[in-house]
Chains A and B, each alone.
Chain A
Amino acid sequence: MSKPFLSVENLTQTYPDGQGGTLTVFEDAGFGVEKGEFVVILGHSGCGKSTIMNILAGLSEPTSGVVKMDGYAISGPSLDRGVVFQNYSLLPWLTTLKNVVFAVEARFPKWSKAKATEHAVKYLSMVGLNEDVLHRKPSQLSGGMRQRVSIARAFANHPKLLLLDEPFGALDALTRGTIQDELLKIWAGTQQTVFMITHDIDEAILLADRILLMTNGPFARVAEAVEITIPRPRTRTDIVEHPNYYAIRNHLVHFLGTRSRDLAGRQPGGTPAPTPIRIDKTDRPADGDGPALRAVNT
């Protein structure tokens, strides 16, 4: 089997626990992300999702283990890995447009000012921001608009991997829905590889090709990789009608509700690779009393 585009290998993160010992957040975590894939990671607080995100972004170093992208181990932050932070992280002294131009100029230093501006305007209009909004400061924008700017800033840079760190966590449910749609639209146009953290199960099903499920920490691990067998393009209203939707949703709810706790703790004999799960009710309509889900080992 060929190596995936992004491969996380034997990642271990420990922190001093303040009493002379160490606290292991996760140990020997490993998973892969294919090119063009949208992968969402779900898990309870404290399972190390954000730590994994920071390691992928290059903002922090793991205690041990490597992350390889395109076959090369990553070290430090890079423009190849764009990040959308939960708190938007826009520079408040720059206007909306200048925030994006700032990023475009960092990515394409040889471009003229006019070309960088044109590029920024194009990506801002893709998330529905036009005209006078471009010349407002972030403090004059709503939370939803700020996150749109942040998303435009990340997409405009054409990173090889886009990292979304709970991008909609601070938004109200209605705004979140609109921006999810916009994210899907802009993603469908670019086929960007995306790795995203979320707490929201419905959001995960709507957006992801695959959902990685993490057990509770300490010694958290990626226990399962659930394939989302709902065809694209998806919309929030249509996917709930799909026969696989509730089967997948129930599986995720059960995992987060009970199994993430039952599976928690250190595994004897090393951390196993995540179990791939495929739930598809459409090709097996007459399964009657059989198990609702089928584990496929590859």
Chain B
Amino acid sequence: MGRLSLNQRAAILSFLLLAVGLVTWELSIPAQKLATDLTEYELLMGLGEQRAGVPPPSQVFEKAWEELSNPFYDAGPNDKGIGIQIGYSIYRVLTGYALAAAIAIPLGFLIGMSPVAYKALNPFIQVLRPISPLAWMPLALFIIQDSEASAIFVIFICSIWPMLINTAFGVAGVRQDWVNVARTHELGALRTAFTVILPAAAPTIVTGMRISIGIAWLVIVAAEMLVGGTGIGYYVWNEWNNLDLTSVIFSILMIGVVGMALDAAFGVLQRAVAYAE
């Protein structure tokens, strides 16, 4: 074992944990007879299992294979491929998120540069920030009169705060030495902002963006359960209504995978703007 690298040992351990977990799950679920395997007597007397069980992992994999091999089919409002559902969710998240970034980053810059703006806006931020994004939903539905736009609004409102606060914090914390370098080189306000403050604050800003995208992905599932129609959140709820637990478990896993991918993308961005002092 000593010759294996840390990563290799960790990978082996991960794989073992996964295998043990799946086997335990599989074995702990009693085999259920299919309706076709029941005798006529059992069918007549209703002698199947008394309650529906959680599906074993083998069934989930089977479902996953089926769904992932044809992710973009569209067979009516209640039967769309997983790819289409995730696509709707990502579209809503990215739209709301982009709107939030377009406002939060410039506004955060302003707040970070100006102590007056910071003090003036801070009470509003502190009151609005802890509000659960879903609490805005009824108001958004009433004012916007459109469930699709309301979901996007909810994403907007939940992803704006971490970006706003981190941008302001990053900009306010830029080392005075670097600002002095800009001043002694007679850089104008705009050039200072883009060539000194922005790169100096970028790691903090991107950290805020990464937190925001994570929160947005958490919130979209809940928002889509409420507004319905399309999206991965609606899909989970719809499969629950169908009592299709295999699909529920499969879609839960897909939510995790997509969330991980979004986070990893921002991880790459974060490494790109990082610097060592």
- Chain A contact residues, CB within 8 Å of chain B: 57-59, 76-79, 81-83, 85, 87, 89, 91-93, 102-103, 106-107, 137, 139, 157
| Pair B185/A79 contact, Cβ less than 8 Å | yes
**In the complex, which residue of chain A has the Cβ closest to the Cβ of B178?**
A91
A57 and B184 CA atoms in complex are apart in Å by 7
A133 and B178 CA atoms in complex are apart in Å by 22
B-chain residues with CB within 8 Å of residue A59 when the two chains form the complex = 180, 183-184
Q: If A137-B275, A139-B275 touch, does A93 touch B199 (CB 8 Å cutoff)?
A: yes
- Chain B contact residues, CB within 8 Å of chain A: 177-178, 180-181, 183-187, 195-196, 199-200, 202, 273, 275-277
Most buried by B among A58, A79, A106: A106
A-chain residues with CB within 8 Å of residue B202 when the two chains form the complex = 93
| Pair B177/A106 contact, Cβ less than 8 Å | no
Looking at chain B's contact residues, is the secondary structure mostly helix, strand, loop, or mixed?
helix
How far is the CB of A130 from the nearest CB of chain B, in Å? 23
A92 and B185 CA atoms in complex are apart in Å by 17
The number of A-B residue pairs with CB atoms under 8 Å apart is 54
| Pair B277/A139 contact, Cβ less than 8 Å | yes
How far is the CB of A253 from the nearest CB of chain B, in Å? 33
| Pair B180/A102 contact, Cβ less than 8 Å | no
A137 and B274 CA atoms in complex are apart in Å by 12
| Pair A79/B177 contact, Cβ less than 8 Å | no
Q: If A91-B178, A91-B196 touch, does A81 touch B275 (CB 8 Å cutoff)?
A: no
| Pair A77/B276 contact, Cβ less than 8 Å | no
| Pair A89/B276 contact, Cβ less than 8 Å | no
How far is the CB of A249 from the nearest CB of chain B, in Å? 33
B-chain residues with CB within 8 Å of residue A91 when the two chains form the complex = 178, 181, 196, 199-200
In the complex, besides A77-B186, A85-B180, A103-B185, 18 extra interface pairs with C-beta distance below 8 angstroms are A57-B180, A59-B180, A77-B183, A77-B184, A79-B184, A79-B185, A79-B186, A83-B180, A89-B177, A91-B178, A91-B196, A92-B276, A92-B277, A93-B202, A102-B195, A106-B185, A137-B275, A139-B275
A-chain residues with CB within 8 Å of residue B187 when the two chains form the complex = 106
How far is the CB of A14 from the nearest CB of chain B, in Å? 22
A81 and B185 CA atoms in complex are apart in Å by 9
Q: If A79-B185, A106-B185, A139-B275 touch, does A89 touch B200 (CB 8 Å cutoff)?
A: no
A151 and B185 CA atoms in complex are apart in Å by 14
How far is the CB of B207 from the nearest CB of chain A, in Å? 16
A87 and B181 CA atoms in complex are apart in Å by 12
A91 and B199 CA atoms in complex are apart in Å by 9
